[in-house]
Amino acid sequence: MSTRDELRRLHFINALFAHVTGRDLYLAGQIKAAIAFSLAELEKQTVGNPGKAAKYDTAFTSAAAQLLEEFFHEHEKHGFYHWDAAKSLEFSTPLFARNEVMAGLKCLAPYDESTLLITNLRPALLPHDRRATPKRVRDYEELLAFIRELAAARTPRNAKLHLLFL
């Protein structure tokens, strides 16, 4: 693993768990180390085969999302919904994205403060092994804008929604 990747993961964890760490990089480092420890076997495979780095990143993001979901599950006043766009290719199209986001917003409606976590949207539309054509980049940007607008339009004014894309 390169130092750049480690630093990127540290800042990712620091931003994702800011409510827990208070933006303290030492505490974020502890969370990152715990996640990395749970993925130690996969990390060993990555060292021997750099082609598996994307697989490690996906596993790291998934483990962080699961940890965040467990944290919010314990706090009854804060709603949480996670949508993994990589479940299948059709989930990343605008029609299915709308359906998933609406299901999440419906689930989060009773909460004054909530988090809608969307993971793997970028890899679903812009795969690592394929060229990022202007059309793919445009489709990705349009889908991001669509999701933001939909969430803003369907969230009650008195509610505070944290929309996270990982």
The pLDDT-based confidence of 89 (bands split at 50, 70, 90) is: low
Tokens 């999701």 belong to 147
Per residue in 46-79, pLDDT (tens digit) is 776 766 677 788 888 888 888 888 888 777 788 8
Distance of CA 146 to the CA centre of its chain: 17
Please give the pLDDT value at position 1.
Answer: 56
Instruction: Count the neighbouring beta carbons within 10 Å of the beta carbon of residue 88.
Output: 10
Please give the pLDDT value at position 91.
Answer: 60
The DSSP annotation for the chain comes to --HHHHHHHHHHHHHHTHHHHTT-HHHHHHHHHHHHHHTHHHHHHHHH-GGGHHHHHHHHHHHHHHHHHHHHHH-TTEEEEEEEGGG-GGGGSHHHHHHHHHHHHHHHTT-SEEEEEEESHHHHHS-TTS---HHHHHHHHHHHHHHHHHHHHHS-TT-EEEEEE-
Which among 98, 99, 101 has a CA at the least distance from the CA of 82? Answer: 101
> Which residues neighbour 4 within 8 Å (Cβ) at sequence distance 6 or greater?
none
Please give the pLDDT value at position 104.
Answer: 93
Per residue in 91-140, pLDDT (tens digit) is 667 777 888 899 999 999 999 999 998 888 888 787 777 788 898 889 88
Please give the pLDDT value at position 161.
Answer: 93
Q: Tell me phi and psi for residue 120, to 5 degrees.
A: 60, 25
Per residue in 2-37, pLDDT (tens digit) is 788 888 888 888 888 887 888 888 999 999 999 988
> Which residues neighbour 58 within 8 Å (Cβ) at sequence distance 6 or greater?
86, 120, 123
pTM: 0.78
